[in-house]
């Protein structure tokens, strides 16, 4: 396969990526655009995804930025409707939005932060998948990738909310894969491993666009 073919293997596809304003989501958005896909970048903060969308377009790609909170189902539905309206449909969904808000042991944890972590990491993924499915079905096929974590099977002090939400995402992935197989929609979980991002506390560094 030539370098051009490798870079253009998503030409004609439309990808929607949540949590695309920073970290892993930002990198995935760039990779999809480099491979030829039209990319809809979404996050709660519109400025971050607008910046990424402008970078993709400046490099010759097609992109749009849509603000949406994945914990809000109507807003998530509106995200996919906007993506389909602008680019004619949706082929790829990357459910990447996630947080780690509570790092204390259970007995000292804040119940509200514990709940918010689960809402973003699990309910938010459910909302994303639920809102995307009708659009993928209209295409006759599709790819859904849920970003997970190895923490789902590793009990660590102070990580109960994050690990519990990721374990739920793991089971949701398997259930969706079985439910959508007949519709030719593949569902997979991607576990990137340790990555330097703002959420992991190591900060993040991006290579200049075009490198």
Active-site residues: which are they?
162
> Is there a contact between 26 and 1 (Cβ–Cβ < 8 Å)?
no
> Is there a contact between 32 and 24 (Cβ–Cβ < 8 Å)?
no
Q: Which residues are within 8 A (CB) of 42 and not within 5 positions of it... i.e. 6 or more apart?
A: 16, 17, 18, 19, 20, 49, 65, 66, 67, 68, 79, 97
Q: Token digits for 79?
A: 């995200």
Q: Which residues are within 8 A (CB) of 17 and not within 5 positions of it... i.e. 6 or more apart?
A: 25, 28, 29, 32, 39, 40, 41, 42, 93, 94, 96
Residue owning tokens 């690990």: 163
> Is there a contact between 59 and 67 (Cβ–Cβ < 8 Å)?
no
C-alpha 83/C-alpha 151 separation (Å) is 32
Q: Token digits for 99?
A: 């947080």
> Is there a contact between 61 and 72 (Cβ–Cβ < 8 Å)?
no
Q: Which residues are within 8 A (CB) of 100 and not within 5 positions of it... i.e. 6 or more apart?
A: 117, 159, 161, 162, 199
């Amino acid at each position: 396969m030539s370098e051009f073919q490798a870079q253009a293997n998503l030409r004609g596809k439309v990808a929607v990526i949540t949590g695309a304003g920073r970290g892993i989501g930002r990198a995935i958005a760039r990779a999809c655009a480099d491979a030829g896909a039209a990319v809809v970048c979404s996050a709660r903060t519109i400025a971050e995804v607008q910046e990424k969308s402008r970078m993709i377009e400046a490099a010759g790609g097609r992109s749009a930025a849509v603000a949406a909170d994945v914990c809000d189902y109507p807003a998530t539905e509106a995200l996919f409707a906007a993506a389909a309206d602008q680019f004619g449909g949706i082929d790829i969904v990357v459910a990447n939005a996630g947080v780690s808000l509570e790092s204390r042991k259970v007995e000292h944890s804040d119940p509200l932060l514990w709940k918010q972590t689960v809402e973003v990491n699990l309910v938010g993924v459910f909302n994303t998948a639920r809102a995307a499915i009708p659009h993928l079905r209209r295409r006759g096929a599709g790819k859904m990738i849920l970003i997970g974590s190895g923490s789902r099977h590793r009990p660590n002090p102070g990580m109960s909310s994050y690990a519990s939400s990721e374990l739920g995402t793991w089971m949701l992935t398997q259930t969706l894969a079985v439910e959508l197989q007949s519709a030719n929609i593949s569902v997979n979980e991607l576990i990137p491993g340790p990555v330097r991002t703002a959420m992991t506390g190591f900060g993040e560094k991006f290579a200049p666009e075009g490198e």
